[in-house]
Amino acid sequence: MDNSSNITLNALLNYDRTFNKHDVKALFATERIAGDNMNFWAFRRSYTSEILDELDLGSNALKDNGGSSSVVRRLNYFGRVSYAYDSKYLAEFVWRYDGSYIFDPVGKQFGFFPGISLGYRISKENFWKDNISFINEMKIRGSWGKTGNDRIAPYQYLTTYGYNGSYVFNESVSEQALRALRIPNEGVTWEIANQSNIGFDAQLLNNKLTISADYFNNLRTNILAYRNASVPGSAGLNLPRENIGKVVNKGFEFQVSYLDNTGDLSYQVSVNGAYSKNHIKFWDETPGNPEYQKSTGNQMNARLYYQAIGVFIDAAAIDKYPHWNGARPGDIIFKDVNDDGKIDGLDRVRSNKTTIPTFTGGFTIDLEYKRFYATILFQGAAGAERSYRTFSGGPGVGNFMYNLVKDRWTPDNPSAENPRAWERGGAYWMTDGEPNNTYFVRSSDYLRLKNFEIGYSLPSGYTEKIGIQSLRVYVSALNFLTFTKMKDFDPESPDDAPGSIWVNSQVYPLNKTTNIGLTVTF
Amino acid sequence: MNYKNSNLLYIFLGFTFTLLLSCNKSFLDTKPSTQFAESDVWSDANLIQLNMNSIYTQNPWSFSWTSLSVDEARCYDGGNDYNMSNMLMTPDNAGWGDWNGRYRAIRDCNVFLENIDKLGDDQALIDGVTLKDRLKGEATFLRAWYYHLLIKYFGGVPLITKSYTLTDDFTAPRNSFAECVQFISDECDKAAALLPLENTGENKGRATKGAALALKSRILLHAASDLYNTAFPGFSNPELLGYVDGNRDQRWQAAKDAAKAVIDLGIYGLYQPNPASAEEATKNYEELFTSKQSEEDIFIRYFSASVNQGADFWGVFPNGFGGIETNGPTSELVDAYEMSDGTVFSRANPAQNIEPYKNRDPRFYATILYEGAKFRPRPANLQGIDPVGVLQVGTWEKWDAEAGKVTYVYGLDSRNSAVYGGGYNNAGTSMLKYINRRTDMYVNHQDDLTWRYIRYSEIILNYAEACIGLGEDVEARTYINMIRKKAAMPDVTESGDALKERYQNERRIELVFEDHRFFDVRRWMIGPEAYHPMHGVDVVYKLNPDRTTATIPIITPVEITTGKWEDKAYFLPISRDEMNKNPKLVQNPGYN
């Protein structure tokens, strides 16, 4: 049973006026959100009869109940003033002043988030019309704005205690355990994103060609993160979130499409793409870590890996190169990154890639020729990596990829690309499911023919003779072709299945689907 | 819109805005609806007690605990245990000792001790002490307990006795081993003065005066041991790993006195100290670990299936009885049990080699399931194959007359079992200690368990060991023989080094799987004896020349894991992360 009341009160003042070529709009608004949620559940099992379903009539032996509640309070003021002159010069100022119950009432609840955007339809200028007439429409625009984020667990400015497990006394008396949930951070407040962007929209060649492009530079500051990289375990703290991170995310996106027809052929071709890469300007760092392991300067969530540089051919090869204690022929060679003559945690290097691609793009073609038609969609991504690993079954050896097995190191095949067969727990280069080195991390760049379809519609003259209004035959395919170096896994699939060896649904390769179809309308 | 109407509109809007703006301050100020505020907790005796419970819940335990990391047991699949056996521990795979977990519990104790005085005074006595004294005593004891868990792995660690706030400097150097021992010992004295002698009713299971004195006995015995009185060669900070001055005899004396203090409380006893027969001794030993309470209990933790907080026996049950048997006793452990007449077992003795499980120390039969040992009824569908319910890890060679060749039938608890071949242990044995034979894995994995962190037998042995350290062999033998008698084993009569050797084996057997051996082999500096390739047994019922199958199997020790010893393993590494976060730390030797 849920008892929720979520009341949102809005008040808006709107002003809209046009005089001569001036167009002025203004909005002032306030919003008050109050949510009170309560839920309660109870059950009994073992009803003797199905006729009456009252809670009270079930068995006394099998019954339980529970419940919880939460509150939400937000108070936001926001507004907008926009001005346009002759639909040529456009300017807008927006602002928000947001209050959130998540933060400390003493000065941390409210954040001010202004923004400004400007536009210039340069193609409306006479000099443009007179001189650059092949560009029918050209608009240049830019914006800058701040937004706030408070989506974290509430009350981190307080020390609160919650129930956490229970303990048994006197053989069988269960008592609850109450534990401090975290130490407080009185200073916790809004995370801020400064978003700026500049771009243009254009239409050319009698509006056949449309181009739009944007460059953006977003700076997130006061990022709400845990300071667990620098606070030692001996402090014993359950850390609260703190406003400690600073990350810049820069990139561009574009879309170009061309639409035309010649004779019986009509076609549309479009290309789109986006590039973005983030870069940590400030992050909590473990003080003793070497430079090449720092998060700062890298992408967010970039991981540390040992650098796999091959497989030990034999015992002599092991003697020749620094190695992990207990290394055997067929083991993966880790690079001695700091040249100290031994392999240890200092030889891990922060990856310059993450599981998120830096470039994504697509390419579509639509064709129609007389009664034939075709659509083709390619998509691709680049700049990401994902783990290539096995999910082991029972104890000892488990399930292995054929691709890892077939050219694996054996005494008879010592110069193999892949390491020897290993037990799940034993190898230093394969710790329980988590890849710790670059051998198990591979580029997931791909280009994929996601979808294509060709078809033909029979002339209605023919079909009507046999009582059919229209008849269309087609062949279509999904995921028909993929160009990638990532074997066995779908390069589009998420990387984060670990933790559970059962989450296999995410890692199975995609189905390739081919359809041959006939659409008949009577 | 005419003039009059728009005026009305403005009035309405003005009203709404006033409404929205007027209560903005208090509107956002909410309180958590499912969490208690700090001030509410520390003024409420009931909530404070629940907070104390959370310090108990962090006390670790496990059936296999340190067994798999020393020569007690092996499991087929275990990264950390493999690394320990093969001396591959590094700061990069360090997980031993759960540094972070221990310090979280220590912080909770610190917070508790800093706040407990906010509770009003109430002179009412429960079990002879006030509530506030009891709670202070518990927090004091538990903090000492969690520190003792740390120093057993690491030697001296930073002694942190205040709770940090977010703006503090968190770096802290390691205290010397001597300081840590002194701290734990002093805190135990403080706690003992505050805690009740015995708890009654729903307070059973909480720390007592005896628990505090017993922990003191344990830590002072550690302090007097070889490991902490021998300099680690070439290590720049010897004070972190042991004593650099003082008198060792005084340490033995302190250890002896501390054990004696527990004995002199007069409230503990050995469980069934005078059995009438070997069979009775076996039964008693098994009962002690399946009973809910006993006179041996000094510091315990209850698990109860009736409140859905039972111990999960699935991990240690034999796989043919519904478990996965992760704690497989090694051949080395099996061989360490003496014969029932007190002589040493030897594979070189032909009769003993053929029937290794015959006529052994009575405790053996209550600790280890071996080929043919009676356990409990099989599930209905398997009773045809095994009507009695015995452990079957062997292979039967059977003659298939039709095919004219040998076929192999695999035991129900073997790794080739038809029931469940996923068993994790290839030792050819399974752990019986702690297991209640009435537990049916096919009904519920959980059952009741009383986990005994400290029991009286340990204190008796601690006392005996301290006596040996002081050269008081007569006194030592008296106490060792109390344990022997309880087990229906003949007295030891040796002196000097021979007595020490008998004592060490006695402790190994009596306290097996109780989280002692791992630390004892370190204290005694006998690492090489405990770390080497480990063995299990291969059990085969051979085909006789007349093509019948033998009824007595051939039991052959086979190597199941590799292993070796390096002295660095006397202390465990502090993780690289922790080292890097706290530049004042010094790493243990062999891990840089």
Q: A304-358: per-residue pLDDT in tens?
A: 999 999 999 999 999 999 998 888 899 999 999 999 999 988 999 999 998 889 9
Closest CA to A287 of B173, B163, B584: B584
A428 touching chain B per CB within 8 A: yes
Longest dimension (CA), chain B: 119
Q: For chain B, give the percent of residues with pLDDT over 70.
A: 95
User: d(Cα A30, Cα A78) in Å, to the nearest integer?
Assistant: 6
Say yes or no to pLDDT of B362 above 70: yes
Say yes or no to pLDDT of B323 above 80: yes
A2-19 and A22-44 strand pairing: antiparallel
The pLDDT value recorded for residue B2 is 46
Give me the DSSP letters along B356-393: TTSSB-GGGGGTEE-TT-B--PPPGGGTTT-SS-B---
Q: Judge contact between A378 and A360, C-beta under 8 A.
A: no
CB–CB of A169 and B204 under 8 A?
A: yes
Give the Cβ contact number of residue B350 at 10 Å: 8
Q: B484-495: per-residue pLDDT in tens?
A: 999 999 999 999
Residue with tokens 């969690």: B146
Give B561→chain A minimum CA distance, Å: 11
Angle, nearest 10°, between helix axes B496-510 and B473-486? 30
Residues B77-99, mean pLDDT to the nearest whole number:
85
CB–CB of A287 and B583 under 8 A?
A: yes
3-class SS of residue A313: coil
Number of A to B CB contacts under 8 A, please give it: 247
Per-residue burial over B441-477, b if 16 or more Cβ lie within 10 Å, else e, is beeebbbbbbbbbbbbbbbbbbbbbbbbbbeebebbb
Confidence of residue B25 (pLDDT cuts 50, 70, 90): low
Beta strand segments in A234-314, E? 241-262, 265-282, 304-306, 308-311
Closest CA in chain A for residue B167 = A185
Q: Judge contact between B425 and B433, C-beta under 8 A.
A: no
Q: Which of A148-152, A449-453, B103-107 has the highest mean pLDDT?
A: B103-107
Closest CA in chain A for residue B86 = A326
The pLDDT value recorded for residue B1 is 40
List CB contacts of A24: < 8 A, sequence separation 6 or more.
Answer: A15, A16, A17, A18, A81, A82, A83
Give B474→chain A minimum CA distance, Å: 39
Q: Which of A330-344, A363-377, B456-470 has the highest mean pLDDT?
A: B456-470
User: d(Cα A406, Cα A404) in Å, to the nearest integer?
Assistant: 6
Q: pLDDT averaged over chain A? A: 87
Give A506→chain B minimum CA distance, Å: 26
Confidence of residue A500 (pLDDT cuts 50, 70, 90): very low
Chain A residues whose CB is inside 8 A of the B17 CB are 11, 30
Residues A188-217, mean pLDDT to the nearest whole number:
93
Residues B239-266, mean pLDDT to the nearest whole number:
97
Say yes or no to pLDDT of B4 above 60: no
Give B549's DSSP letter.
Answer: B
Give B241→chain A minimum CA distance, Å: 18
Residues B127-143, mean pLDDT to the nearest whole number:
97
CB–CB of B170 and A231 under 8 A?
A: yes
Residues A85-99, mean pLDDT to the nearest whole number:
92
The pLDDT value recorded for residue A26 is 92
The pLDDT value recorded for residue B8 is 53
State whether the Cα torsion A391-A396-A399-A405 is positive or negative. Answer: positive
Closest CA to B413 of B433, B431, B398, B401: B431
Residue with tokens 């006195």: B257
User: d(Cα B463, Cα A54) in Å, to the nearest integer?
Assistant: 65
The pLDDT value recorded for residue A501 is 43
3-class SS of residue A74: strand
Residues B25-47, mean pLDDT to the nearest whole number:
87
CB–CB of B206 and A344 under 8 A?
A: no
Give B577→chain A minimum CA distance, Å: 7
CB–CB of A236 and B90 under 8 A?
A: no
The pLDDT value recorded for residue B202 is 93
3-state secondary structure A166-202: EEEECCCEEEEEEEECCCCCCCCCCEEEEEEEEEEEE
3-class SS of residue B478: helix
In A178-327, where does DSSP find H-type helix?
Answer: 315-320
The pLDDT value recorded for residue B95 is 83
Confidence of residue A498 (pLDDT cuts 50, 70, 90): very low
Confidence of residue B229 (pLDDT cuts 50, 70, 90): very high
Q: For chain A, give the percent of residues with pLDDT over 70.
A: 93
Q: Judge contact between A215 and A186, C-beta under 8 A.
A: no
Say yes or no to pLDDT of A426 above 70: no
Closest CA in chain A for residue B33 = A70
Hey, what's the torsion of the CAs at B40, B45, B49, B55, to 10 degrees? 50
Of B17, B160, B205, the CB nearest to A234: B160
Say yes or no to pLDDT of B344 above 70: yes
Say yes or no to pLDDT of A117 above 50: yes
Measured in whole angstroms, how far is the alpha carbon of residue B534 from the centre of its chain? 21
Confidence of residue A146 (pLDDT cuts 50, 70, 90): very high
Chain B residues whose CB is inside 8 A of the A76 CB are none
Of A160, A175, A432, the CB nearest to B79: A432
β-bridge mates for residue A521, sequence order: A470
CB–CB of A70 and B34 under 8 A?
A: yes
Say yes or no to pLDDT of B123 above 50: yes
Chain B residues whose CB is inside 8 A of the A289 CB are 580
User: d(Cα A259, Cα A271) in Å, to the nearest integer?
Assistant: 12
Give A292's DSSP letter.
Answer: G
3-state secondary structure A99-154: EECCCCCCCCCEEEEEEEEEEECHHHCHHHHHHCCCEEEEEEEEEEEEEEECCCCC
State whether the Cα torsion B358-B364-B366-B367 is positive or negative. Answer: negative
Say yes or no to pLDDT of A504 above 50: no
Q: Judge contact between B412 and B352, C-beta under 8 A.
A: no
Q: A26-75: per-residue pLDDT in tens?
A: 999 999 999 999 999 988 888 888 888 888 888 888 888 988 998 999 99
Angle, nearest 10°, between helix axes B456-469 and B473-486? 150
Confidence of residue B215 (pLDDT cuts 50, 70, 90): very high
The pLDDT value recorded for residue B423 is 64
A240 touching chain B per CB within 8 A: yes
A474 touching chain B per CB within 8 A: no
Q: Most A CBs within 10 Å: which of B21, B75, B77, as the mutation test of the A interface?
A: B77
User: d(Cα B418, Cα B319) in Å, to the nearest integer?
Assistant: 10
A 127-156 residues inside an 8 A Cβ radius of B = 154-155
Residues A87-106, mean pLDDT to the nearest whole number:
92
* Radius of gyration over every alpha carbon of chain B, rounded to an integer in angstroms: 29
Residues B59-70, mean pLDDT to the nearest whole number:
93
Q: A457-482: per-residue pLDDT in tens?
A: 887 777 677 777 888 899 999 988 88
Closest CA in chain B for residue A306 = B92
Backbone φ and ψ for A160, nearest 5 degrees, come out as -125, 160
Chain A residues whose CB is inside 8 A of the B292 CB are 171
The pLDDT value recorded for residue B504 is 98
Confidence of residue A502 (pLDDT cuts 50, 70, 90): very low
Closest CA to B405 of B279, B547, B572, B583: B547
Beta strand segments in B368-497, E? 368-369, 395-400, 405-410, 430-431, 446-447, 449-455
Residues A363-378, mean pLDDT to the nearest whole number:
93
Residues A375-381, mean pLDDT to the nearest whole number:
94
Chain A residues whose CB is inside 8 A of the B87 CB are 325-326
Of B34, B76, B172, the CB nearest to A396: B76
Residue with tokens 């007097």: B224
A242 touching chain B per CB within 8 A: yes
Chain A residues whose CB is inside 8 A of the B328 CB are none
Chain B residues whose CB is inside 8 A of the A235 CB are 103, 107, 160, 164, 168, 170
The pLDDT value recorded for residue A300 is 87
Give me the DSSP letters along B258-270: HHHHHHHT-----
A 48-107 residues inside an 8 A Cβ radius of B = 68-71, 73-75, 99-101, 105
Helix (H) or strand (E) holding A36: strand A22-44
Confidence of residue B14 (pLDDT cuts 50, 70, 90): low
User: d(Cα B257, Cα B267) in Å, to the nearest integer?
Assistant: 17
A446-457 and A89-100 strand pairing: unpaired
Complex ipTM value:
0.91
Of A168, A184, A432, the CB nearest to B309: A168
Closest CA in chain B for residue A178 = B51
CB–CB of B82 and A177 under 8 A?
A: no
CB–CB of B33 and A11 under 8 A?
A: no
Of B164, B304, B308, the CB nearest to A237: B164
A190 touching chain B per CB within 8 A: no
Q: Most A CBs within 10 Å: which of B582, B584, B585, B586, as the mutation test of the A interface?
A: B582
Give B24→chain A minimum CA distance, Å: 7
Give B203→chain A minimum CA distance, Å: 6
CB–CB of A158 and B79 under 8 A?
A: no
Q: Judge contact between A187 and A242, C-beta under 8 A.
A: yes
Beta strand segments in A390-510, E? 441-443, 446-457, 470-484
**What are A450's two structure tokens?**
């996601």
pTM of structure: 0.90
User: d(Cα B176, Cα B179) in Å, to the nearest integer?
Assistant: 5
Closest CA in chain A for residue B420 = A394
The pLDDT value recorded for residue B206 is 97
| Angle at the Cα of B65 from the Cα atoms of A497 and B567, rounded to 5 degrees | 100
Decide: residue B18, CB within 10 A, 0-12 exposed, 13-18 middle, 19+ buried.
Answer: exposed
Confidence of residue B457 (pLDDT cuts 50, 70, 90): very high
Q: B47-64: per-residue pLDDT in tens?
A: 999 999 999 999 999 998
Say yes or no to pLDDT of A3 above 70: yes
Backbone φ and ψ for B112, nearest 5 degrees, come out as -60, -50
Q: Residue A3, CB half-sphere, CA atoms under 13 Å: how many?
A: 6
Give B299→chain A minimum CA distance, Å: 12
Amino acid at A233: G
3-class SS of residue B62: coil
Q: B572-584: per-residue pLDDT in tens?
A: 999 999 999 999 9
**What are B116's two structure tokens?**
């407990």
Q: B266-312: per-residue pLDDT in tens?
A: 999 999 999 999 999 999 999 999 999 999 999 999 999 999 999 99
Decide: residue B247, CB within 10 A, 0-12 exposed, 13-18 middle, 19+ buried.
Answer: exposed
**What are B444's two structure tokens?**
């519920």
User: d(Cα B554, Cα A170) in Å, to the nearest integer?
Assistant: 47
A344 touching chain B per CB within 8 A: yes
Confidence of residue A440 (pLDDT cuts 50, 70, 90): confident
